[in-house]
Chains A and B, each alone.
Chain A
Amino acid sequence: MKRLVAGGMDKIFQITKCFRSGEKGKNHNVEFTMLEWYRKDADYFNLIDDAKKLLNYVCDKTKTDRIFSNWKILSLDDLWKDFTGKKLEDIPDAFDFDKTMVDKIEPGLNENHPIIITDFPAIFSPMCKTKNDDPYRAERLEIYFKNIELGNGCTEQIDKKIQIKRLLNEQIERRNMGKDVYPWPAEFVDSLDHMPPTAGMAIGIDRLVMILCDKEKIEDVITFTEK
């Protein structure tokens, strides 16, 4: 989809099936449905407006109460301090970051209205543009509703040099971990030459249905799931 934007399309979306081998949990299923959209000449704040309008529209169309109101926007720095007592910069590695998100931050977001978390560390935010005034943070947001991560979006990283460096590092890391190394995405890298400033967002449709239907597990809203 990023290549389509680079090719000249300015507002695009798709709803499609995604597959993640081995990912099965309360909020995860191997096969799931994702909505993804991209907007040219936009940044992550435009995505917040899009998401608000979209989610309210879905509530109205499905005759559900407008549960996506009273949005709260919080910076990850503040949440980190509140829930861990530590500074975000002091996090030692990616695993510790993910673990803290899952064990400490997510359980603390149990509020009956949507919460947007902004300004994630750039090192843990591949594909996201780094903030102009703060090289440690990325222009990225996540939408949470009652502990569930519903969406993830960012201003796209369109700097070709930075992308090449990151993609190379990822290949080296995968090789070192003994994982399959993906083929080099040459077309994507080339397309960055023509890519305008863009913002892109993804929302998990199954999780949205879970929230609208007040269900605890993703398998409650998917007809057939792997046991």
Chain B
Amino acid sequence: MYDASNLKKGLKIQIDNEPYVITGFDFSKPGKGQAIYKVKMRNMLSGANFDRSYRSNDKFHPADLMSKKMDYLYCDGDSYCFMDPESYENHLADASVIGDKKDFLLENTTVDVLFFGERIIEITLPMVVKLKITKSDPGVRGDTATNVTKPATLETGYTVQVPIFIEEGEYIKVDTRTGAYVERAKD
């Protein structure tokens, strides 16, 4: 259990059986009054943001969250299947949880999976992933002195700008946070 005074940015708490992450925290005490803890938080299921005020004797349960390394197996359209490499147990995540991360999610990639109880609520990709270029027309250098790029379609269907020396069939590294090309993959 946490007291209101223990709350801080990044802490995850549970209210009415839903997990919340604290995104802002301020202490206030009006003249001659008592302590008020002003908390900004985001519902980790709906993504909605809330502002609440609490007093010092309010208590909070830590959110029932667990993070596990799991391998991504396959997608059947609406859900994505992940496997625990130790127990071989499979868990499904809703497509809405994966969102745009699908652009960098290749079968057999190991990702951090965040569970709320039995339910997957978030996945965290490796910072950089290696992906194959399935389509990219040869580039034309032209007369420009700046770095020239061209579009390349990756095996996940995602299109990224790459330098013109990169060819179809090659592997490149992509930053999963920005979606940008990093470098040509060595092997």
Interface residues, chain A, with chain B CB atoms under 8 Å away: 20, 22-28, 94-95, 97-99, 101-103, 106, 120, 124-127, 142, 149, 152, 177
Q: Are B34 and A95 in contact (CB under 8 A)?
A: yes
Q: Are B32 and A22 in contact (CB under 8 A)?
A: no
Q: Are A98 and B30 in contact (CB under 8 A)?
A: yes
Q: Are B32 and A125 in contact (CB under 8 A)?
A: yes
Verify if B28 is at the interface (C-beta below 8 Å from A): yes
Q: Are B33 and A97 in contact (CB under 8 A)?
A: yes
Contact string against A for B residues 31-68, beta-carbon threshold 8 Å, 1 for contact and 0 otherwise: 11111101000000000000001010100000000000
Interface residues, chain B, with chain A CB atoms under 8 Å away: 5, 26-36, 38, 53, 55, 57
Q: Are B53 and A99 in contact (CB under 8 A)?
A: yes
Q: Are A102 and B32 in contact (CB under 8 A)?
A: no
Contacts A22-B5, A98-B36, A102-B38 given; does A149 touch B55 at CB 8 Å: no
Contacts A25-B26, A26-B26, A102-B36 given; does A95 touch B55 at CB 8 Å: yes
Q: When chains A and B are docked, how far (Å) is the Cα of A97 from the Cα of B29?
A: 11
Q: When chains A and B are docked, how far (Å) is the Cα of A138 from the Cα of B65?
A: 49
Contacts A99-B53, A102-B53 given; does A28 touch B33 at CB 8 Å: no
Q: When chains A and B are docked, how far (Å) is the Cα of A48 from the Cα of B150?
A: 70
Q: When chains A and B are docked, how far (Å) is the Cα of A126 from the Cα of B31?
A: 11
Q: Are A177 and B33 in contact (CB under 8 A)?
A: no
Closest beta carbon of chain A to B139's beta carbon, Å: 49
Q: Which residues of A contact B35 (CB under 8 A)?
A: 22-23
Contacts A25-B27, A28-B27, A177-B57 given; does A152 touch B36 at CB 8 Å: no
Q: Which residues of A contact B30 (CB under 8 A)?
A: 98, 101-102, 106, 149
Q: Which residues of A contact B38 (CB under 8 A)?
A: 102-103
Q: Are B34 and A149 in contact (CB under 8 A)?
A: no
Determine which residue in A28, A97, A99 has the highest number of CB atoms from chain B within 10 A of its CB, and name it. A99
Q: Can you list 11 pairs linking A and B with CB atoms under 8 Å apart?
A: A22-B35, A23-B29, A26-B27, A28-B27, A98-B33, A102-B28, A102-B36, A103-B53, A124-B33, A127-B32, A149-B30
